[in-house]
Amino acid sequence: MKVLVSDNISSKGVEILRKAGLDVDVKTGLKPEELKSIIGEYHALIVRSATKATADIIDAAKNLKVIGRAGSGLDNVDKAAASKSGIVVMNTPGGNTITTAEHTIAMIFAVARKIPQANASMTEGKWEKKKFMGAELFNKTLGVIGLGNIGGEVAKRAQGLGMNVIAYDPFLSEEKAKQMGIKKMEVAELIKEADFITTHTPLTAETKNLINAQTLKTMKNGVFIINCARGGIINEKDLFDALESGKVAGAALDVFEKEPPENNPLVGHEKVICTPHLGASTQEAQENVAIAVAEQIVDYLVHGTIRNAVNFPSIPADQVAVLQPYINLAEKIGSFASQIFEGGITEVTIEYRGDASELKSSPVTIAALKGLLTPILEETVNFVNAPFIAKERGIEVKETKSMDAGDYQSIIVMRVKSPKKELSVSGTLFSKKDPRIVKIDDFTVEIVPEGSMLFMYNNDKPGVIGNIGTLMGKNNINIARMHFGREAAGGRAISVVNIDSPVSDKTLNEIKNLPNILDVKVINL
């Protein structure tokens, strides 16, 4: 079988592929049209971040069985198109965890002690000792937003430096936080208490512009801000204004909204330290991910074993046809529930009813957990590690089975609990393969779980639907589908609108201000 390595990876990874008897071509720097013209010859494609495995490329990849990413991020791979074509997408989660955590700690030291600025001054022959007065880390409070693999390692190292660590992570239980010696709190509380704030979340609708003019105002005077996660989590213009006013004492940025940044006033600012997305850039990390992805490709192509797949669980070939539709449904239910639920999750129950109760449920439950965890933890979650991640965060997972499916032949119910609230989302299959969400708590609906949608709680009053439609038209946003459910006439209701284009923050605020709209969220499936 033939493997194409289209981005630079360690030669140790290429050596593993060839020793396994695979025919390997290393062709880096290919233009999209060049890649498209040759991809049909290959059974596996290995990329880093440069190659864009778009739907157009995937459509031309008639023999492709697997795409392997030497790293964790998969922004450059169209996972939906790959799944539709039956192509397994793998990444190497954890391969850059330590190196990114170390880079974050280095950035914290550097911004606190103004090391790059002092070095630049020295190279100019100056001795400006008073100008570069720094700040100690000892006994200061570090706020970690996102306590996943990388955030957790940063927290450990900060504790070793004598810092007090507080954290926000919606999937972190109070018990687990106590075991780690970390005080868990909501974002709004964290940013008020922290002397240093570091972000370790994916870029989602919920985290985009998480640090902005409004949140910056509530922070301590002289706060330090560090971002080695994703550009866009911090509103760069608002950060610049806060630096100019003196509200923020310093910032250390490894990522930017646009990379490489062009005419960005933060680059070169006297209070800002910038690095060109170096979080995973160590020799050790690059070797680790190259070896890992090569071994995973060999396992799949030679031995038929799937590891670290983000779009496919490890199940026997003879069960794929039966289980795959339920796996898809469960992942959709989990992702939907995650994006509308607020609070730290402590318990998840998956109920299999009717025909679903006769399934081999383990891979379906894993799919539901993967869907639940992915919107917050993004590419670090796959079909292998989802149960372990849930356990690490103190989430208890249960399964129940019953032949009673009510009005349906088969149904899956996910119940998500926190100490203060509970949410249930139910789904079924139409025509044995098409997923539908049919109930949210006590609201009966019929939602096609795909693409972008607006999820709204509203009062069941005349004019709500018309106002939503008018506002969408005014903003040139096409509505693909609309779904509604209500508890009782004139009571509380939900509205779900599938849309064909993204909703801006401005439009989202306009929707929130419509009469009888109680809450609105953007859901991406």
Distance CA 267, CA 258 (A): 12
Residues 155, 156, 161, CA angle at the centre, nearest 5°? 95
Give the residue from 515, 503, 504 showing the smallest Cα distance to 464.
Answer: 515
Q: Which of 43, 230, 353, 483 is catalytic?
A: 230
Q: Which of 34, 128, 186, 259 is catalytic?
A: 259
Per-residue burial over 46-62, b if 16 or more Cβ lie within 10 Å, else e, is bbbbebebbeebbeebe
Distance CA 509, CA 475 (A): 12
Whose tokens are 């103190």? That residue is 394
Cα dist from 509 to 65, 439, 472, whole Å? 43, 27, 12
43 is catalytic: no
Give the residue from 423, 398, 508, 517 showing the smallest Cα distance to 461.
Answer: 517
SS3 assignment, position 414: strand
Residue type for position 329 = L
230 is catalytic: yes
Distance CA 287, CA 95 (A): 9
Whose tokens are 């957790």? That residue is 152
- Output DSSP code: residue 39: G
Distance CA 201, CA 437 (A): 27
Per-residue burial over 391-421, b if 16 or more Cβ lie within 10 Å, else e, is ebbbbebeeeeeeebeebebbbbbbbbbeee
> What is the residue-wise DSSP string for 310-361?
SS-----GGGHHHHHHHHHHHHHHHHHHHHH--S---EEEEEEEEGGGGS--
- Output DSSP code: residue 7: S
Q: Which of 269, 277, 481, 492 is catalytic?
A: 277
- Output DSSP code: residue 140: P
277 is catalytic: yes
Structure tokens at 192: 């008020």
Distance CA 211, CA 198 (A): 11
Structure tokens at 40: 């049909």
Q: Which residues are catalytic?
A: 230, 259, 277
